[in-house]
Amino acid sequence: TVTDRERPREIQKARRLGAQILEVRIDRFRRLNEAYVLQKIRSLREIGLPLIATIRSRREGGGRDVSEEKRLHLFKKILPRVEAIDLELSSTRLRKILVGLARRQRKPVILSYHNFRSTPPDQALSRLILKGRKGGGDLVKIAVTPKRQEDLARFLLFTHRNRDQHLISIAMGRHGAPSRVLAPLLGSLLTYSFLNRPQAPGQLPLHRLSQELKVFSGKK
């Protein structure tokens, strides 16, 4: 995960450490005017890694309040310049507009859900996957907050059982930190890290995540 604060050489180092995709958290940019955002996207494209553009809503962990109209305008401008976008399941109006636009431009859409308080029951998690698929998501991202180790274990088991559902699984917070390493080994399609500062509770720095993934996956 990157913002507009990381320098190109830092991101190049991330690539050497094993980063394969850049999630661009535009909601955490210092400025959100169109020209500035597009210039930053152009700079990031020069790194040579695929870009996932995210303008996270405030209620689901965004860095600031950004109006729906502003988010929609920026997403429309950014879409041709990135490989995918991430949009909240709860952003119903934006989802209905942007999924269609993304389809026409053959860009994948991640539809995401964030719960910063708890880990819903498995039935509720299954309904989220179904809602995401019906809503046009190519991938569904579910981020939850375990309150105890048992919550994390259940969520990881859920991930494994649904590994064929194009799922991204994240457990946030202190109890969820191990999921950053374990979830991708159990079927989550992506895991997220950071270079300078975490963008979500429980994120591990990239150098540590890279080392632990190699250990747990048996790679040297």
The catalytic residue positions are 114, 141
Q: Which of 107, 110, 29, 111 is nearest to 70 (CA)?
A: 29
Distance CA 88, CA 142 (A): 10
Residues 54, 60, 63: CA angle, nearest 5 degrees: 60
Element (H, E) at 37: helix 34-45
Are the beta carbons of 174 and 197 closer than 8 angstroms? no
- Reading phi first (left if > 0) and then psi (alpha if -120 to 50, else beta), residue 104 is in alpha
Residue 196 structure tokens: 């300078």
